Amino acid sequence: MRTTVGIIGAGPAGLLLARLLHRAGIESVVLEARDRAYVEQRQRAGVLEQGTVDVLRAAGAGARMDREGLRHDGIELRFDRRRHRVDFPGLTGGRSVMVYAQTEVCKDLIALQLAGGGPLLFGAEAVAVEDVDTPSPRIRFRHQGREDVLECDYVAGCDGFWGVSRPTLPAGVGQVFERTYPFGWLGILADVPPSHDELVYARHERGFALLSMRTPAVSRLYLQVPEGTKAEEWSDEEIWRELELRFETADGWTLRRGPVTQKSVTPMRSYVHEPMRYGRLFLAGDAAHIVPPTGAKGLNLAVGDVVVLARALAHEKETGSAELLDAYSATCLRRVWQAERFSYDMTTLLHRAPDATAFEDRLQLARLERIISSRAAETDLAEAYTGFPLA
């Protein structure tokens, strides 16, 4: 099998890249290890920056998002039993975000690709990426019980944090910047209308909590839990009780309960691999970098990377110049590090580290007070949350 761009992974990065390349008249093949049902059911984040919304629309993948997505003009910060709303458009000159689940974005992109794009093979696991430092790289993969080879001009490693592309880089070509956190998020989906019409980020002595949503009838809620916690360790009753404690306000706000339909734990990590390119292999999305979910940046970073990559490949096709491809890693990393910084700031602002001192507690409260009392500090948060320029 032969194509121009061999794409490993059908998460948002791989699927959107295939779509953008198709529109630029560049052939690609997407190899996805899992089956379609698995990819379409995987629960992930759900906040799209304005720039991401614009890209999806321009790629022809915005119709259902525009019908079913929920435009959000702010978030609430909650601490000390008090509530403070951050007004995005008012602070940023009109920017907002869209709440539309990543799984739904993937479903829309898969449907488009299968209807009129290049090949998208499910159950096709890449096992090796070879010769990326030559003009003719190859991806070895297993599909329907057979070993096969995809020959291409470029390889896009869109295979997430646990994929095969990053580990194939020779030792010593890159550098890793990493930080792990001694806690994770226990997330639930519940069949109950969200108790607030915007996301609520709560800082509490017992730990962080987040109220989010999937639809007007489905709530998504998270609790900070110690690292290594298993979802089964928490009964539904214990989860609701703990959420109530952490969201409690002085003005008598109440949390609506409903049947829990899914429960899982997400670990937290900050990670960047530099550079994001080696020879003809380009890493994009979680394959190159991870952010803790507190800033809602993971999906938006993946989108930014593939926009830059698709543009660079189109430029090379039109002009023969590799200038933009050569700049790929540096261009993406500027935005990646801003998102790393913001996600780290939001995480340390709102979570309680197991070894936190009374001094650090007070500093957290002082940082929150600063955000709610200074328009400059609040604007800084609103600008970062609604998104940095794509490139």
For ligand APR (CB under 6 A), the number of binding residues is: 28
Question: Which of 390, 388, 282, 276 has the alpha carbon at shortest distance from 343?
Answer: 388
- Helices of type H across 78-143: 88-92, 102-116
Q: Which of 22, 204, 273, 297 is catalytic?
A: 297
Query: Tokens for 155?
Result: 């390889």
Tell me: does residue 283 bind ligand APR (CB under 6 A): no
Minimum distance of ligand APR from residue 251's CB (angstroms):
33
Site for ligand PHB in 22-61 (CB under 6 A): 45-47
Tell me: does residue 371 bind ligand PHB (CB under 6 A): no
By C-beta, is 199 or 333 nearer to ligand PHB?
Answer: 199
Q: CA 38, CA 253: separation in Å to the nearest integer?
A: 37
The DSSP symbol for 121 reads E
Whether 100 is catalytic is no
Q: Which of 100, 154, 201, 328 is catalytic?
A: 201
Site for ligand APR in 116-135 (CB under 6 A): 125-126
Contact present, 10 and 35 (Cβ < 8 Å): no
Q: CA 264, CA 261: separation in Å to the nearest integer?
A: 11
By C-beta, is 168 or 348 nearer to ligand PHB?
Answer: 348
Query: Tokens for 116?
Result: 């009129």
By C-beta, is 126 or 309 nearer to ligand APR?
Answer: 126
By C-beta, is 212 or 331 nearer to ligand PHB?
Answer: 212
By C-beta, is 75 or 156 nearer to ligand APR?
Answer: 156
Binding partner selected for residue 46 from ligand PHB, ligand APR, none, CB under the kind-specific 5 to 8 Å limit: ligand PHB
Q: Which residues pair with residue 76 across a beta bridge?
A: 85, 200
Minimum distance of ligand PHB from residue 215's CB (angstroms):
11
Question: Which of 385, 386, 390, 372 has the alpha carbon at shortest distance from 331?
Answer: 390
Contact present, 158 and 20 (Cβ < 8 Å): no
Chosen residue from 288, 296, 301, 325 binding ligand PHB by CB under 6 A: 296
Q: CA 199, CA 86: separation in Å to the nearest integer?
A: 10
Q: CA 45, CA 105: separation in Å to the nearest integer?
A: 11
Tell me what percent of the chain is helix, strand and coil, each rounded to the nearest 5. 40, 30, 30
By C-beta, is 117 or 285 nearer to ligand APR?
Answer: 285
Binding partner selected for residue 368 from ligand PHB, ligand APR, none, CB under the kind-specific 5 to 8 Å limit: none
The Cβ of residue 249 has, within 10 Å, a number of other Cβ atoms equal to 15
Whether 292 is catalytic is no
Q: Which of 12, 22, 72, 194 is catalytic?
A: 72
Binding partner selected for residue 221 from ligand PHB, ligand APR, none, CB under the kind-specific 5 to 8 Å limit: none
Q: Tell me, residue by residue from 252 to 291, as one string, x for binding to ligand PHB by CB under 6 A and - for no binding.
A: ----------------------------------------
Query: Tokens for 15?
Result: 């699927």
Tell me: does residue 292 bind ligand PHB (CB under 6 A): no
Q: CA 288, CA 362: separation in Å to the nearest integer?
A: 35
Contact present, 102 and 299 (Cβ < 8 Å): yes
Under the rule (CB under 6 A), what is the footprint of ligand PHB?
A: 45-47, 199, 212, 220, 293-294, 296
- The catalytic residues are 72, 201, 293, 297, 385
